[in-house]
Structure 1
């Protein structure tokens, strides 16, 4: 035996175990910003099959990872160094955790013996992240590296998905790991909810004269939509959905779809929801639409279908809770529903809502002039929204116009921030979409305020050669805030900022920049942008004079 073959195999260090754990979890990309306290993990990544994507800000790294989690159901991974590197992850973790997006974030840390000292970049990142995660821990021993990594993924992907944070002290990462990498364990698979509870839910639905279904964020999960659509179709049930349920209803069930609902309680769907004598919530989280708004003072039965029990509220006390796999539970419930369909009043309401949709489309198509009315932009986007497109929305006035009036029939085709309503998510989500949905056309949209929260990641998109189109609606203000301030106080405060030329900005990063200058240019410019290679920024000046109607009235005749 040669001396070389007899040499003992070098023990893996903690950083190498972390990276191998990621590989065994099937992680393809990791997004982050390097630093001295996490450099051993970056060094180990160099020898792995994982693509390290360096971002321009840790918050955006978390946004990209969260977007991957939402679109795939598998945790995306972000990485940052100690101190401000880890604290910069917090907004991304809070967004993902609130909105049910699985993500695992890794943060560097000072050595164990220094963590109580006031030295460079000392920070109790574990306790900082606990309120915004499902799981936040520090690896405090070389023996614990593999098990902590496994538990982080299980927490992020299990139940109602969310965020995990793992603090990796620099000395533990550099030390020989006294453990073996664990094979990923199969997450416990929930079955349908309790049979007796399902029977009781069916009895209540069949007894009701005016039941309605309220779809939430988990209703748009790809594994749940087929069962939900079958329930709506076979059960002849009218339905509304939160913004994050977009795409759960297909074109087949669309005639019974009363629309989306949101926190202003002034949408057509709200009328249908108010009319119902029983509400079936599916995959709904109160953060999407507060029960105190849509159910205050109502004594009607509520049936709660979710992977977790209800958060009891004065206005949300379910009569029956069906806790289990959402798809399996809905599939078990469907054959028990013997409902004749919407009553006459609800039927008339659905017909009127459908008529108003058609009228809104007619009004929208006729909107001319510059700046351009949001409804005209939405109307043109609807014509461009093919089944092979992903649409990622930031937060702002534009987001409300789109969420209310643009229809999607593919689960999670539209990504919306509805829990934290976080500015800056759209472009990072679009970058994620180009990675996990390479066959899709990818469009992201922000206002000119939200755009600057993550605009630096345009360089990342250029480096990745991401084929995406980012549309910037320009008005020079934080208009959604301004509109609400005017409703409350009769005036706006602190909402103006200076201009940025989106074409020059794009070109400075090596991307393509375009402007839409009239309503008739929307479709041809967007088609040109979608056909271009690499990232494209498209600017458009918008007329927000009707934004008060978003908060005051749903009557289309109020829009002039």
Structure 2
């Protein structure tokens, strides 16, 4: 058995079912080893997309998604995907080929210090410089990816290490998961004291709170405590406790949930990372106590300095805290939460009454609500479409709606939809992007048809980078660098063996969606979108937060 075969065996033992990648001479030994493995290789069209697919697997499964690339540009093309995974809490193991050890410090073909490249965007980056150290590097990498707040890791594999004879015992518990318990008893007591003394307590649920592994504990905690809550774009939504949900917050500080957040006299964050919604925008200058419930202690910040820090397993901590709480929530504050939820529902309901072409975003959302079932997964790209969707589209369960809320990375929706097919086979998948973001990753449609993916992809077509455009307009009174050309979506779909639809009136969309969900190939739906009201999305926005 050589090093590459040993690495594949380690992946098998860890339960990996798919590897996403592009081959090359420095890493071909691993591709050869995969031929004799039950692990399925998904051959991609671009390394960045392989990283996005691995990220989606990590987000939905809680275990590392794996991408495999060659040295040099193969490794550098992973950077955006790995940075996105790390900042958004998704476990990914990236394996990158490297030149042989003797060429390591030479100016030779595809020589690159991949570890130095990857350190800023991963939780762990290390090369296996001997075949005997390979299981150690693998184990430490996977444990880093999956423990604490998950993220991406990089394992460099020199070509000669992959080919070297390996006699290391692989059955010794490499990559054994790290278990956490509940937070410290003293911090639990302190948190309960603060919450019980408050009259306007509010939960702010972040991205790690949306993990399926802690969903039951979170639902039980919210229901038992009766605390109203809001969520970030990537956090859990109304499914936790619909009667207590005040909506999503993030990006622009002008939502109904923000009004409740401003009024709260104690904010309890659960699985929240500052990258989701900068605390300087919602807590600057506030003397109210903060309680942080998380798997890692947060970085100290002038605007985010918790009075109690409950660090441990989220589910176990919530279970331990719940019996200590006897909150007395102010009636007017609770009514404000109900009013916030009703405002969101009322705005979303307007969609059914909107007609005409181009289509209003709320009409598209209304038609989606009619076809999305509890087992449907939605993958959202970044752009104006994702602001509308995150504000007004409900989620029925943990990780049902996938969104890039840390790096706000363009192009993720299509690769995520493909990976969802593999993680949740036989369930409906719908992805959404703008016309700009779609073409970032659209070459993977060929991969999608080759591996038998089925999903429906909606293109909200404005002929521009509209999320940039309306913010520029508000900030400068004009736009720059945002206008795009047009392309024939139906012909593009057919060129890749997919099915394409062109929407010409609002009444078409519902029937087309239902027909599209029955197709046996990927479907593209081109929707001319009316973004004329987008400036309303950012009314009262903090000007320092313009992107």
Question: Which bracket does the TM-score occupy, shorter chain normalised?
Answer: over 0.9
Q: Which residue of 2 aligns with 1:437?
A: 424
* Equivalent residues of 1:191, 1:329 under 8 A apart: yes
User: Could you say what secondary structure the match of 1:37 adopts?
Assistant: coil
Q: Which residue of 2 aligns with 1:424?
A: 411
1:173 and 1:435 map into 2 onto residues whose CA distance is: 28
Q: Which residue of 2 aligns with 1:8?
A: none
What are the within-5 Å matches in structure 2 for residues 8-407 of structure 1?
Answer: 12-182=1-171, 183-247=173-237, 249-250=238-239, 253-341=241-329, 343-407=330-394
User: Could you say what secondary structure the match of 1:128 adopts?
Assistant: helix
* Equivalent residues of 2:253, 2:540 under 8 A apart: no
| Consecutive unaligned residues in structure 2, runs of 5 or more | 542-547
Query: Which range moved further: 344-353 or 361-370?
Result: 344-353
Query: Which range moved further: 327-336 or 544-553?
Result: 544-553
How many correspondences in the alignment?
Answer: 540
Q: Which residue of 2 aligns with 1:480?
A: 467
User: Could you say what secondary structure the match of 1:209 adopts?
Assistant: coil
CA RMSD between the two structures: 1.2
1:117 and 1:475 map into 2 onto residues whose CA distance is: 49
| Consecutive unaligned residues in structure 1, runs of 5 or more | 1-11, 555-560
**Relative to structure 1, is the Cα distance of residues 320 and 531 closer, same or farther in structure 2, using a 3 angstrom cutoff?**
same
Question: Deviation string for 1:488-515 (max 9, x for gaps)?
Answer: 1111100112112111111000111112
Question: Deviation string for 1:342-367 (max 9, x for gaps)?
Answer: x1321231232233234213322111
Query: Which range moved further: 187-196 or 266-275?
Result: 187-196
Deviation at 1:180, TM superposition (A): 2.8
User: Could you say what secondary structure the match of 2:478 adopts?
Assistant: coil
User: Could you say what secondary structure the match of 1:244 adopts?
Assistant: coil
Q: Which residue of 1 aligns with 2:505?
A: 518
TM-score calculated relative to the size of structure 1? 0.95
Q: Which residue of 2 aligns with 1:489?
A: 476
User: Could you say what secondary structure the match of 1:159 adopts?
Assistant: coil
TM-score calculated relative to the size of structure 2? 0.97
2:175 and 2:95 map into 1 onto residues whose CA distance is: 20
Q: Is residue 454 of structure 2 the alignment partner of residue 467 of structure 1? A: yes
Q: Which residue of 2 aligns with 1:527?
A: 514
Deviation at 1:254, TM superposition (A): 1.4
Query: Which range moved further: 345-354 or 543-552?
Result: 345-354
Deviation at 1:332, TM superposition (A): 0.7
Q: Is residue 434 of structure 2 the alignment partner of residue 447 of structure 1? A: yes
* Equivalent residues of 2:420, 2:429 under 8 A apart: yes
